């Protein structure tokens, strides 16, 4: 699914970065114009381990507005 979205976005002239969540530098989020996360759950709907750091950073942002990713909505 992520690869198809990436191809479609490139065809529409978006700048695309496709990577695993644990390879993504979370501190780049404030500099992104658009972010699409494609994440599959594991087991009984549990989040995958490789999204832990990213998910915590995003959760922390919404718990403390203006703290890390002030422009993230």
The 3-state secondary structure of 6-19, one letter per residue: HHHHHHCCCCCCCC
Q: What is the predicted pLDDT for the residue at 48?
A: 84
* pLDDT-based confidence at residue 2 (cuts at 50, 70, 90): very high
How much is the pLDDT for 72? 57
CB 36 within 8 A of CB 6: no
pLDDT at 11: 97
Mean pLDDT value of segment 59-71: 65
Among 59, 39, 37, which Cα is nearest to 49's? 39
Q: Give the span between the Cα atoms of 19 and 50, in whole angstroms.
A: 11
Half-sphere exposure of 46 (CA within 13 A, CB side): 7
Tens digits of per-residue pLDDT, 20-58? Answer: 888 888 888 888 888 898 888 888 888 788 888 788 877
């Amino acid at each position: 699914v992520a690869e198809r979205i990436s191809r479609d976005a490139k065809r529409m002239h978006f700048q695309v970065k496709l990577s695993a969540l644990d390879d993504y530098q979370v501190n780049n989020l404030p500099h992104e114009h658009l972010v699409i996360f494609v994440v599959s759950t594991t087991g009984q709907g549990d989040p995958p381990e490789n999204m832990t750091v990213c998910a915590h950073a995003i959760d922390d942002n919404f718990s403390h507005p203006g703290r890390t990713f002030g422009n993230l909505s």
